Chains A and B, each alone.
Chain A
Amino acid sequence: MPAILALAIDAQTVAAALFYLFAGIAGASALGVVLSRNIVRTAVCLLFTLVGVAGLYFLLEAEFLAAVQLVIYVGGTLILIIFGVMLTSKSPFSHFEPKAGEVVVAIAACAVLFSAMIMAIRSADFRPQSLDTTQKYPVVALGQALLGDYLVPFELASVVLLVVMIGAAYLAKGRKRDDKRAVARGAATLSQKARQWS
Chain B
Amino acid sequence: MELILPIATNPIIGLNHYLVLAAFIFVCGLLSMMLKRNAIGILMGVELILNAANINLVAFNRFAHAYSPDQRPMLDGQIFAIFVIVLAAAEAAVALAIFLNYYNNFNTIDVERAQTLKG
Contacts and interface: CB of A to CB of B under 8 A. Distances in A.
Interface of A: 12-13, 15-16, 19, 23, 26-27, 30-31, 33-34, 39, 42-43, 46, 49-50, 53, 56-57, 59-62, 64-65, 68-69, 72-73, 76-77, 80-81, 83-85, 87-89, 94-98, 102-103, 106-107, 109-110, 113-115, 117-119, 121-122, 126-129, 131-132, 135, 138, 141-142, 145-146, 150, 153, 157, 160-161, 164-165, 167-169, 171-172, 175, 179
A142 B100 contact: no
A23 B58 CA distance: 15
Q: For chain A, what secondary structure do more than half of its interface residues adopt (helix, strand, loop), or is it mixed?
A: helix
Interface in B1-49: 3-4, 6-7, 11-21, 23-32, 34-41, 43-45, 47-48
- Residues of B in contact with A, size category: 35 or more
Contact of A129 (B7, B27, B65, B86): B65
A150 B83 CA distance: 10
B107 to A, nearest CB: 9
Given A65-B82, A89-B109, A46 B103 contact: no
A62 B44 contact: no
A135 to B, nearest CB: 6
A185 to B, nearest CB: 15
Interface of B: 3-4, 6-7, 11-21, 23-32, 34-41, 43-45, 47-48, 51, 54-55, 58-67, 73, 75-76, 78-79, 81-83, 85-90, 92-94, 96-101, 103-104, 109-110, 112
A73 B87 CA distance: 11
Given A122-B3, A128-B64, 15 more contacts: A27-B28, A33-B29, A64-B78, A73-B51, A77-B92, A81-B44, A88-B109, A95-B38, A97-B37, A106-B34, A117-B23, A118-B20, A142-B79, A145-B75, A164-B94
Contacts of A172: 96-97, 100-101
Contact of B27 (A49, A65, A80, A113): A113
